Chain A
Amino acid sequence: MAELKLQNLNKIYDNNVQAVFDFNLDVKDGELIVLVGPSGCGKSTTLRMVAGLEDISSGHLILDGKDITTMPPKDRDMAMVFQNYALYGHMTVYENMAFSLNLRKENKNVIHEKVLAAAEILGLTDQLNKKPSQLSGGQRQRVAMGRAIVRTPKVFLFDEPLSNLDAKLRGSTRREILLLHKRLKATMLYVTHDQTEALTLADRIVCMSMGHVQQIGTPLELYDDPANLFVASFIGLPPMNFFDVKVSGGELICDSFKVSLSNEQKALLSSYEGKEITLGVRPEDTVEGGNIDMTVFSNENLGQTTLVHGHLSKHRITCKFRSWCNYKAGDALKIGFTKMHFFDKETTNAIK
């Protein structure tokens, strides 16, 4: 049982720079929460505050009903896995994994059983006598996770654990973390700037920008129903296309195209009649055939899908078609939108 509550957390550094603004989050027992956002958005700072590695300027951190805001890191019953593994090079895998328990002066036999069990889970049994320098990046990261597992902490904290791995290894290690989470059923906080990791791992995602929480929700909610322009642009690959359009007489009018609105959309945008809004269209929500003229300037075949980059008069657009296409630069193409997102131009919030 490990429920974590972050209540109005703020981080203000000595030079008066505020890194985190009023962070609120309730993490349920066994939940995997991913903090995602671009570099400098405050996600690692938040994680470090939870770990106790950064002081909390104001707010409260509650673990299982107990206020641990000022508790020293060693007493918080949390284990952190770092991006750079933080393994001891002169120690074997076994010794690295047993290290924290040895420091706590636990019984050697108990330590042994815990290390073997963790090694079994992580597939490291054959590597226990090796030094970290003899292991691959993925194996080293697994050792770092093993070191966290043996402590059986209430909360696991991951600070961009896959960033040092190559793309292929990142994929396999990501799946291992997911399996680990299912097996341990532990409460986990995971920080990443990689939206693929966020979408594939998270029970819920916290999307952050400039120290502010932009949206908290399931991966599908963030993808399908972004709260604002930032979330819409950050989640999704390739990113969403945006156009400044005017709402006029049941249509969205832009320099390059006109789009008719459904009755539902008309009702939604009724208060914006005559005003400009931002239209967002995901590349995968575009289809070949429609009434919008597009001029192709590049075509990227990715196997199952094709990314077609082009212009709608003045605007650039990226389309993702579910077929193998062979467009050439300069080809004219008719496209349509299957789903559209609307954002208030002033507040950048989604129009709902």
Chain B
Amino acid sequence: MDTATIKKDRLRYSKNTLSSNFALLAILFNIFYFVSVYKTDAGNYFYSFTIGVSVIYNLLFMLFTFLSSEGIKKYSLHYSVLLIVIGVLQIARVFYLPAKAHAAVITTAAGNLPVIGDALYTRLIIFLLISAAFAISGGVIGVIKNRILNEYTKNLSIK
């Protein structure tokens, strides 16, 4: 067997740990995001329907990303696509809670204050984008490896 073929053949017996680890890193950076987003001292801004949705989304995100991290180990195309979708949604989230909270102003005795300052806002966006990058990369790698493996096993069965 030549090196390229060995590389393909290895896929039959090894797990897609790279994509799986990327999915876990996506979860990790999402955790950094949500522990940061709720820790501002912004009066009762977060006691709203928006934040309820945000909490539920974070829970669902972690559930499905973890499921994907397991499923993608076996080169599952479905979980790879799911991971890409999750990644895209992470990018979309930038324009929801962090952006809205950054634009909102809360009136206190000291005057009008932003709910989220510029520094925190930047940090939140970075966390979400890194999380999205890991999820999308993991998913794309999963799709590519799935195709290589499928093609290789198809050739094997023809032989």
**Chain A interface (Cβ < 8 Å from any Cβ of B):** 92, 94-95, 108-109, 112-113, 115-116, 128-129
Q: Does B147 contact A (CB under 8 A)?
A: no
Chain B 3-26, CB-CB to A under 8 Å as 1, else 0, gives 100110110111000000000000
Residues B60-86 near A (CB distance < 8 A): none
With both chains docked as a complex, state the minimum distance between the C-beta of B126 and any C-beta of chain A, in angstroms: 34
CA distance A128 to B11 in the complex (A): 12
**Do A129 and B10 form a contact, CB below 8 Å, given A109-B3, A113-B1?**
no
Interface size of B in residues (CB-CB distance below 8 Å)? 9
Smallest CB-CB separation from A111: which chain B residue?
B10
The minimal Cβ–Cβ distance linking B3 to chain A, given in whole angstroms, is: 6
B6 near A113: Cβ-Cβ < 8 Å: yes
Alpha-carbon distance A112/B4, docked complex (angstroms) = 12
Separation of A116 and B9 alpha carbons in the complex (Å): 10
Interface pair B1/A129, CB less than 8 Å apart: no
Q: State the B residues within 8 Å of A (CB).
A: 1, 3, 6-7, 9-10, 12-14
Flag if A94 contacts B6 (CB, 8 Å): no
Number of A-B contacts (CB under 8 A): 22
Contacts of B10 in A (CB 8 A): 108-109, 112
Cβ-defined contact, B13 with A92, below 8 A = yes
- Tell me the complex Cα distance, A112–B10, Å: 7
Interface of A (DSSP majority class): helix
Q: Which residues of A contact B9 (CB under 8 A)?
A: 112, 116
Q: Give Cα distance in the complex from A109 to B14, angstroms.
A: 12
Question: Which residues of chain B come closer than 8 Å to A92, judged between CB atoms?
Answer: 13
Q: Which residues of B contact A115 (CB under 8 A)?
A: 13
Given contacts A92-B13, A95-B13, A128-B13, 19 further A-B contacts (CB under 8 A): A94-B13, A94-B14, A95-B14, A108-B10, A109-B3, A109-B6, A109-B7, A109-B10, A112-B6, A112-B9, A112-B10, A112-B13, A113-B1, A113-B6, A115-B13, A116-B9, A128-B12, A129-B12, A129-B13
CA distance A129 to B6 in the complex (A): 17
A108 to B18, CA, bound (A): 15
In the bound complex, residues from chain A placing their C-beta under 8 Å from that of B12 are 128-129
In chain B, what residue has the closest Cβ to A129?
A: B13
Most chain B CB within 10 A, of A94, A109, A128, A129, is at A109
How far is A222 from B14 in the complex, measured between Cα atoms in Å?
A: 48
Nearest B residue to A108, CB-CB: B10
Give chain B residues whose Cβ lies under 8 Å from the Cβ of A113. 1, 6
Q: Which residue of B lies closest to A97 (CB)?
A: B13
Can you name 9 A-B residue pairings with CB atoms under 8 Å? Answer: A92-B13, A95-B14, A108-B10, A109-B3, A109-B6, A112-B6, A113-B1, A113-B6, A129-B13
Nearest-CB residue, chain A, relative to B9: A112
Closest A residue by C-beta to B3: A109
Contacts of B13 in A (CB 8 A): 92, 94-95, 112, 115, 128-129
